[in-house]
Chains A and B, each alone.
Chain A
Amino acid sequence: MNRIRGLLRFLWDFVVGDDWRIAVAVTSALLVTLVLSNNGVTSWWLLPVAVAATLTASVCGAARNRRQSA
């Protein structure tokens, strides 16, 4: 049981990493892009916008946490 838990933990750390919100944002943005594309809407811009917003939010969050813990 501990080994399975360890493996799952490793896979989580490997794929998702320090900030799970990045994985959620990427998945959500891909799904919305898929829906827009399938309905004939030009959607190539959506993923870059989502990535820029997510990266900024994640870095700002890390900076805020560091300041609060200092």
Chain B
Amino acid sequence: MTGTQIGLVASVFIACTVEAVEALTIVLAVGATRSWRSAMIGLGVALAALAAVTAALGPALTELPINVLRAVVGGLLLTFGLQWLRKAILRAGGLKALHDEEATFTEQAELALAAGTVENGLDSYAFFVSFKGSFLEGLEVVFIALTFGSNQKDVPLAAAAATAAVLVVACAGFALKAPLARVPENTLKFVVGVMLTSFGLFWGSEGVHARWPGGETALLVVIPAVALFAIATIASLRRTLSAAAAVET
């Protein structure tokens, strides 16, 4: 396995783990409070819809000329990665609430209970909440797996990493029947933001005909450089905020 393939597997696996943990919390909340059967049907329909999206977009993406693919996908990956990184920096700096699966579970469960009585047969509330949560979180997984996979011309490897992550999270969640609050989600989101931004930088530049010194080995410098820059930004943000707080008090 080459270095970029290891990067592909690690990035897709971690990103999919984070999204799967979020989807699992929603499914568990509506399943436990309303109807496991309806929540599971919602999850199953969402997975089928995601498979259809992947089957439709995957071959289309791999047919594009490599430079066009890298420019478009690199740009999208960079925009997407910077969003993740920005949120992770704001969370670490204390400007945005940390993601808390237990709080999300409680909130979803309260909403589910407030939605009225459970119907006989298919519970439409449990079905739609489970479907929507799984589909929307899953779309990010599909996007990341397809962009990484198509750029590396190895969609099957990306799909395998994504499937493995979803299976690991699903087995752990349904064994515990509780949200996976111990998964260090905020740290993983930071790591994913760094990986998406780094690969977006590399592929985006290559797609518009810029050549990195050292070719693909440049990623070994780009990834730590992006991580260090993000850590420095967090430190600077914390300093600025505490200085502002000191002036106010």
Q: Which residues of A are at the interface with B, using a C-beta cutoff of 8 A?
A: 14-19, 22-23, 26-27, 30-31, 33-34, 36-38, 42-44, 46-48, 51-52, 54-56, 58-59, 62-63, 66-67
How many Å lie between the Cα of A62 and that of B93 in the bound state? 11
A-B contact pairs, 23 of them (CB 8 A): A15-B79, A16-B79, A17-B83, A18-B87, A22-B79, A22-B83, A23-B79, A26-B79, A27-B75, A30-B204, A30-B207, A31-B208, A33-B208, A34-B208, A37-B208, A43-B205, A47-B204, A48-B222, A51-B197, A55-B85, A58-B86, A59-B237, A66-B95
On chain A, the residues within 8 Å of B93 by CB distance are: 59, 63
Interface of A, helix, strand, loop or mixed by DSSP: helix
Cβ-neighbour of B82 out of A44, A48, A54, A66 (below 8 A): A54
> Which residue of B has the minimal Cβ distance to A17?
B83
| Pairs A-B, 9 closest by C-beta atoms | A37-B209, A34-B208, A17-B83, A44-B210, A43-B210, A33-B208, A23-B79, A47-B205, A44-B212
Q: Quick check: A18 and B86 within 8 Å, CB to CB?
A: yes
Cβ-neighbour of B204 out of A26, A52, A63 (below 8 A): A26
How many Å lie between the Cα of A54 and that of B76 in the bound state? 15
On chain A, the residues within 8 Å of B211 by CB distance are: 44
Q: Quick check: A14 and B139 within 8 Å, CB to CB?
A: yes
Whether B163 is near chain A, meaning CB under 8 Å from some CB there, is no
Q: Quick check: A33 and B95 within 8 Å, CB to CB?
A: no
Min distance, Cβ A6 to any Cβ of chain B, angstroms: 12
Q: How large is the interface on B (under 10, 10 to 19, 20 to 34, 35 or more residues)?
A: 35 or more
From A26, A31, A33, A66, residue with most partner B Cβ within 10 Å: A26
On chain A, the residues within 8 Å of B80 by CB distance are: 15, 17
Cβ-neighbour of B75 out of A18, A26, A37 (below 8 A): A26
Q: Quick check: B208 and A59 within 8 Å, CB to CB?
A: no
How many Å lie between the Cα of A55 and that of B236 in the bound state? 13
Min distance, Cβ B141 to any Cβ of chain A, angstroms: 13
How many Å lie between the Cα of A37 and that of B205 in the bound state? 10
Kindly supply a per-residue 1/0 record for chain B positions 96-120, scoring 1 wherever the CB is within 8 Å of any chain A CB and 0 otherwise.
0000000000000000000000000
> Which residue of B has the minimal Cβ distance to A44?
B210
Min distance, Cβ B86 to any Cβ of chain A, angstroms: 5
Q: Quick check: A48 and B208 within 8 Å, CB to CB?
A: no
Query: Contacts A55-B86, A66-B95; is A34 near B209 (CB within 8 Å)?
Result: yes
Q: Quick check: A18 and B83 within 8 Å, CB to CB?
A: yes
Kindly supply a per-residue 1/0 record for chain B positions 207-222, scoring 1 wherever the CB is within 8 Å of any chain A CB and 0 otherwise.
1111111000000001
